[in-house]
Chains A and B, each alone.
Chain A
Amino acid sequence: MPFVSKTRSFLRNLLSTRSVEQDLDQEVRSHLQLLIDENIRAGMSLKQAERAARMELGGAEQVKEQVRQARFGNWLHSLISDCRFGLRQLHKNPGFTLTVILTLALSVGANTAIFSLVNALLIKSLPYTHPQRLGTIYTRKAGSTMVSEDRHNLDGERWELLRDNVPALLSAVSGGTSGVNLKADSRVQYVREGRVSAHYFDVLALQPVLGRNFSEDEDRPHGPKAAILSYSLWRNTFEADPGILGQPILLKGEPHIVVGVLSQGAVTPSNADVYTALQPSREGAGGGSNFDVITRLRDGATWQQADAELNRAWAAQVQHIEKHNPGVRVTYFSVPLQKGETESLRPQVLALMLSAGFILLIACANLAGLTLVRMLRRTSEVATRLALGASLWQIQRQFWIENLLLALVGGAVSIGLGFLALKELFLLLPEHFLPVASVPVDARVLAFALVVSVLTSVLFGMLPALVARKVDLRSSMANRAVAASVRVRQLLIAGEVALTVVLLAGSGLLIRSLIHLETLPPGFNPNGVMVAKASLDDVRYHDPATFRQLLHESIAAMRQIPGVQNAAVGLTLPFERAVNDGVTISDGKEAGTQDGADLFYVTPGYFETLQMPVLAGRVFTDADGTDTQKVAVVNRSFARKFYGGSNPVGRYINKDIVIVGEVADVSVVSGLEPVAPLMSEQAMYVPAAQVSAKFLSIVHVWVQPDWIVRTAGPVEGLTSQMQRALAAADPNLPASGFYSMKDLLARTLATQRIYVALLGAMAALALLLSAVGIFALVANTVAQRTREIGIRMALGSTIGQAMVQIGRSGAIASVFGIVFGLALSAGALRVMRSVIYGVGVYDATTVLLVLLTIAAITLLATAVPTLRIARIDPARTLREE
């Protein structure tokens, strides 16, 4: 029974609010009337009777409110009415509401976008069954001074030992992904080929939708050639033909039998269109550490067990390294595959998350300032409500509810904004830049955005709520609170300016180092050079004679293009990563010196086409052929490193190669000792005609040669004419892409460019938010002190003096912020040492630019609101009060 009546009254209280309220109102009125009647009967005058009755009743509104609170379901009712009231309040102050929602949306949006990256790279499980059982192998080298831990690449020998002697792991290796030519029907297509060992897909637990994975037989050296297609290649190129199994496709000039098709959406760390069996051995690619390894812990085994077996299997290699590096202890250990795949991006992503956190703090400071002012403006409203019987808790709750409403709306907008930002970010990233297939906005990201918005609202709502506690019915208290609030807001602004300084200085350093890299003297003339890349990973071009003929015919055809001054082929170009090889000095006092050097093969026109200065001797001619003396040209760094800078011409390297010339250094992507993304290092050039068959069969698996032409001016349809010239020499050789030297530079510096764009965007956002904060503070001061300004002006102060007087609050806060920010930068920016080049952490130019930027923004943000002072009419202000 009580339950039924409770439910009934709950619904009635909720639904027919009006009649319930009317009933209550009438009841209280009638009670008052009865009291008056009673008093009159006791002999009072009407006036006395009314007064006594009211005293006894103790305030009709308070009584009603007490009844409302005793009602069942009161909390829900008051929540709804608080929300309604809150929405009305927000609607009444569109400027405030919009500023808060935009600030929230921008700051939480930035955080949502960055968190999506963190989520995709560092949190989300890999898209394979039991991802926690997937791993890769790291080397730990512990010396007396330092410990290094790096992902370990395997050579053929280690791979065989791992495959055969570590039963706790199911392992597989891949030889990387590179572009190759696929001929299907009469069409030749350029696709990405991943070379993987037999159990690669078993380790990832990927089952093909058609056919099977590679067999161990197909993975043996010289075994049958087999291919597995990705789902999209099967659908797009082979029209989802189910009869494709068992059919040959022409890949790299050789027929491969299709044995399987991967399922839709299946991704691998190799991320290729077509997979072939790696057929690893201790020869060729297996002669060096060229294999990436992935492992899956077998059922019942433990990682400890696997690591123990691994170190036992590779004991001989460990001994070998330790013998050559005395005092160094070498161990191998398993690491979760996800960590291995994303480790290199981890610091950058975390740094981004940190700067996004800065943005959030800045936004919080702004919002706290805004809500604080709003709160103080509402002092009279609060006082009225307290007088009408509202409890302090009810008033606080009202503010929290308004904050929460703002947080929810801001959060919703921020998710949309974050999604857009993420899409923009993707346009910026080069293809296959991230080791994950996609960066989804999933439930975790949504939850993050929501939690951050609510947290922000709690943070920025806390301060005003604390101040509200001091609000008293007596207005003098409120005035004191206003004075205190200016101090608090100045402190907040100083804080946000300080964070902005750090972000600005950080992005300034990145911009300076990008400019440094882009304006490095290239060592050749990059203007007017067009590049075509094509894959020579083709069995036909393992033969030096066919290779020479291709180069000869294609270069001759390119020279025929009208407007082309010169043409050549080279592996590789400046701004690219060069092939590294060992070099031995064969004569003189340096005889026997061994080290690494970049190795280029080039046709005779290469130096002339790139306009590389020849410093000594000669460059190659057509006379340097197969049967003549083996020759090489080295660069300045080579001469400096191996010959102390003296003339290298006439010296012998690698036993029988004579150096015939010396050329200037060019900027390349270092593979030897990278200290910067672009640098010059020792290099040797050999004639393409003198390259051995063995070298040809290996090098083109990883690197594609470049056809280059130099033109005097822009040539209409140059790229299609270059493609035709290539086709004239080999109709089955599609160019994989055409580039200007500027494109190659941009590709090489893509990572730096992304850092600049991301951190730059953060810094700009921080600057915007700080400007808004300063603007709001000054504008508010103007509004609050209009009367005071009026009096000052009536007493003879000029408009300019008044403007300075008022604007000072913002400027002072900003100056404190700058000082604090510079101190903070001095400590914080040291972590950037590894990502900046050609510029120090304490860079005067950057600091100066940061100072100027903030000063300009501060000036703007304080000046604009003080302009209103000019419109103050002293006479009117004084009369108004």
Chain B
Amino acid sequence: MSPEPTTLLQGTLDLLILKSLATGELHGLGISRRIEQITGGTFNVKPGSLFPALHRMEEEGWTSSFWGDSENNRRAKYYRLTKAGRKQLESESKRWGRISWAIAQALEA
């Protein structure tokens, strides 16, 4: 299945999804587009990665889902953060901050 860089990528993807949901509930495509937007187009998350991550995060209890209507009246499955999800976002952001700072330091040295 996924090769070595999984941990980093998976962690990154999880953090990006959590972040995209921080401002409110979104459906799968919405999450994908929001990530594209907030990363300035760097990350284009394909459904093949997005959906497994969404389902896994729901099983972890970070998100919850419900069926609702989209902006142009299509039925879509929406995701929102739970309390545990918010906590996870907070701690993951801090961790990520530390890691990126450390890596930036390392590269400047």
Residue A84 interfacial (CB < 8 Å): no
Q: CB-CB < 8 A to B70: which residues of A?
A: 34
Residue A26 interfacial (CB < 8 Å): yes
Q: CB-CB < 8 A to B28: which residues of A?
A: 27, 31, 34
Interface string of B43-85 (1 = CB under 8 A from A): 0001110011101101111000000001010111100000010
Residue B107 interfacial (CB < 8 Å): no
Given A63-B47, A63-B51, do A6 and B61 touch, yes or no (CB 8 Å)? yes
B72 touches A30 (CB 8 A): no
Q: CB-CB < 8 A to B58: which residues of A?
A: 9
Residue A427 interfacial (CB < 8 Å): no
For B29, B46, B58, which residue has the most chain A Cβ atoms within 10 angstroms? B29
Given A2-B84, A34-B29, do A28 and B61 touch, yes or no (CB 8 Å)? no
Residue B109 interfacial (CB < 8 Å): no
B48 touches A70 (CB 8 A): no
CA distance A24 to B77 in the complex (A): 10
Within the complex, what minimum Cβ distance (angstroms) separates B64 from chain A? Answer: 9
B76 touches A62 (CB 8 A): no
The A contact surface, by secondary structure, is: helix
CA distance A66 to B50 in the complex (A): 10
Given A2-B84, A34-B70, do A71 and B55 touch, yes or no (CB 8 Å)? yes
Interface string of A22-53 (1 = CB under 8 A from B): 01101110110111011000000000000000
Residue A823 interfacial (CB < 8 Å): no
Q: CB-CB < 8 A to B76: which residues of A?
A: 30-31, 34
CA distance A28 to B84 in the complex (A): 26
Within the complex, what minimum Cβ distance (angstroms) separates B43 from chain A? Answer: 14
Residue B19 interfacial (CB < 8 Å): no
Interface string of A381-392 (1 = CB under 8 A from B): 000000000010
CA distance A727 to B48 in the complex (A): 98
A70 touches B61 (CB 8 A): no
CA distance A796 to B72 in the complex (A): 72
Which of chain B's residues has its CB closest to A32's CB?
B47
Residue A58 interfacial (CB < 8 Å): yes
Q: CB-CB < 8 A to B104: which residues of A?
A: none
Q: CB-CB < 8 A to A30: which residues of B?
A: 27, 74-77
B84 touches which one: A1, A34, A72 (CB < 8 A)?
A1
B77 touches A70 (CB 8 A): no
Within the complex, what minimum Cβ distance (angstroms) separates B80 from chain A? Answer: 15
Residue B1 interfacial (CB < 8 Å): yes
B59 touches which one: A27, A31, A34, A71 (CB < 8 A)?
A71
Q: CB-CB < 8 A to A70: which residues of B?
A: 52-53, 55-56
Q: CB-CB < 8 A to A71: which residues of B?
A: 55-56, 59
Within the complex, what minimum Cβ distance (angstroms) separates B101 from chain A? Answer: 28
A27 touches B51 (CB 8 A): yes
A67 touches B55 (CB 8 A): yes
Residue A56 interfacial (CB < 8 Å): yes
Which of chain A's residues has its CB closest to B77's CB?
A27
Which of chain A's residues has its CB closest to B64's CB?
A5
CA distance A33 to B29 in the complex (A): 10
Which of chain B's residues has its CB closest to A72's CB?
B59
Which of chain B's residues has its CB closest to A30's CB?
B76
Q: Which of A42-95 contact B (CB under 8 A)?
A: 56-58, 62-63, 66-67, 69-72
CA distance A255 to B84 in the complex (A): 93
Within the complex, what minimum Cβ distance (angstroms) separates B74 from chain A? Answer: 6
Within the complex, what minimum Cβ distance (angstroms) separates B20 from chain A? Answer: 16
Given A27-B28, A30-B77, A56-B46, do A66 and B52 touch, yes or no (CB 8 Å)? yes
B74 touches A6 (CB 8 A): no
Given A30-B74, A30-B76, A37-B74, do A5 and B61 touch, yes or no (CB 8 Å)? yes
B74 touches which one: A5, A34, A62, A69 (CB < 8 A)?
A34
A31 touches which one: B1, B47, B56 (CB < 8 A)?
B47
Q: CB-CB < 8 A to A66: which residues of B?
A: 48, 51-52
A9 touches B59 (CB 8 A): yes
Given A28-B51, A58-B46, A63-B48, do A1 and B74 touch, yes or no (CB 8 Å)? no
**Count of residues in B whose CB is under 8 Å from the partner chain:** 23
Q: CB-CB < 8 A to B29: which residues of A?
A: 31, 34-35, 38
CA distance A24 to B56 in the complex (A): 13
CA distance A37 to B77 in the complex (A): 16
Which of chain B's residues has its CB closest to A3's CB?
B61
Within the complex, what minimum Cβ distance (angstroms) separates B8 from chain A? Answer: 17
CA distance A567 to B29 in the complex (A): 110
B48 touches A6 (CB 8 A): no
CA distance A722 to B48 in the complex (A): 95
Within the complex, what minimum Cβ distance (angstroms) separates B75 from chain A? Answer: 6
CA distance A23 to B79 in the complex (A): 14
Which of chain A's residues has its CB closest to B30's CB?
A34
Within the complex, what minimum Cβ distance (angstroms) separates A67 from chain B? Answer: 5
A58 touches B47 (CB 8 A): yes
Q: CB-CB < 8 A to B52: which residues of A?
A: 66-67, 69-70
Given A30-B75, A34-B27, A34-B70, do A1 and B55 touch, yes or no (CB 8 Å)? no
Q: CB-CB < 8 A to B47: which residues of A?
A: 28, 31, 56-58, 63
CA distance A57 to B50 in the complex (A): 10
Q: CB-CB < 8 A to B77: which residues of A?
A: 23, 26-27, 30
CA distance A63 to B84 in the complex (A): 27
CA distance A69 to B1 in the complex (A): 10
Within the complex, what minimum Cβ distance (angstroms) separates B54 from chain A? Answer: 8
CA distance A391 to B2 in the complex (A): 12
B75 touches A62 (CB 8 A): no
CA distance A301 to B38 in the complex (A): 84
Q: CB-CB < 8 A to B84: which residues of A?
A: 1-2
Which of chain B's residues has its CB closest to A41's CB?
B72
Q: CB-CB < 8 A to A24: which residues of B?
A: 55
Q: CB-CB < 8 A to A391: which residues of B?
A: 1
Within the complex, what minimum Cβ distance (angstroms) separates A24 from chain B? Answer: 8
Q: CB-CB < 8 A to A5: which residues of B?
A: 59-61
Within the complex, what minimum Cβ distance (angstroms) separates B60 from chain A? Answer: 6
Within the complex, what minimum Cβ distance (angstroms) separates B34 from chain A? Answer: 13
CA distance A6 to B1 in the complex (A): 22
Which of chain B's residues has its CB closest to A20's CB?
B55
A1 touches B61 (CB 8 A): yes
A26 touches B74 (CB 8 A): no
CA distance A38 to B72 in the complex (A): 10
Which of chain A's residues has its CB closest to B54's CB?
A67
CA distance A5 to B61 in the complex (A): 6
CA distance A34 to B28 in the complex (A): 9
Within the complex, what minimum Cβ distance (angstroms) separates B27 from chain A? Answer: 7
Within the complex, what minimum Cβ distance (angstroms) separates B82 from chain A? Answer: 9
Within the complex, what minimum Cβ distance (angstroms) separates B109 from chain A? Answer: 38
Within the complex, what minimum Cβ distance (angstroms) separates A783 from chain B? Answer: 38
Within the complex, what minimum Cβ distance (angstroms) separates A31 from chain B? Answer: 5
Interface string of A656-679 (1 = CB under 8 A from B): 000000000000000000000000
Within the complex, what minimum Cβ distance (angstroms) separates A350 from chain B? Answer: 48
B1 touches A62 (CB 8 A): no
Within the complex, what minimum Cβ distance (angstroms) separates A32 from chain B? Answer: 9
Within the complex, what minimum Cβ distance (angstroms) separates A40 from chain B? Answer: 10
Q: CB-CB < 8 A to A57: which residues of B?
A: 47
CA distance A165 to B60 in the complex (A): 78
Within the complex, what minimum Cβ distance (angstroms) separates B30 from chain A? Answer: 8
Q: CB-CB < 8 A to A34: which residues of B?
A: 27-29, 70, 74, 76
Within the complex, what minimum Cβ distance (angstroms) separates A655 from chain B? Answer: 98
Within the complex, what minimum Cβ distance (angstroms) separates B86 from chain A? Answer: 13
Q: CB-CB < 8 A to B53: which residues of A?
A: 70
CA distance A103 to B72 in the complex (A): 64
Minimum-distance CB pairs A-B, first 9:
A70-B52, A5-B61, A9-B59, A34-B29, A27-B77, A70-B56, A2-B61, A66-B52, A67-B51
Given contacts A30-B77, A67-B51, 10 further A-B contacts (CB under 8 A): A5-B59, A30-B75, A34-B27, A34-B70, A63-B48, A66-B51, A67-B52, A67-B55, A71-B55, A72-B56
Can you list 9 A-B contacts with CB-CB less than 8 angstroms, sorted by A residue number?
A: A5-B60, A5-B61, A26-B77, A31-B29, A34-B28, A34-B76, A58-B46, A69-B52, A72-B56
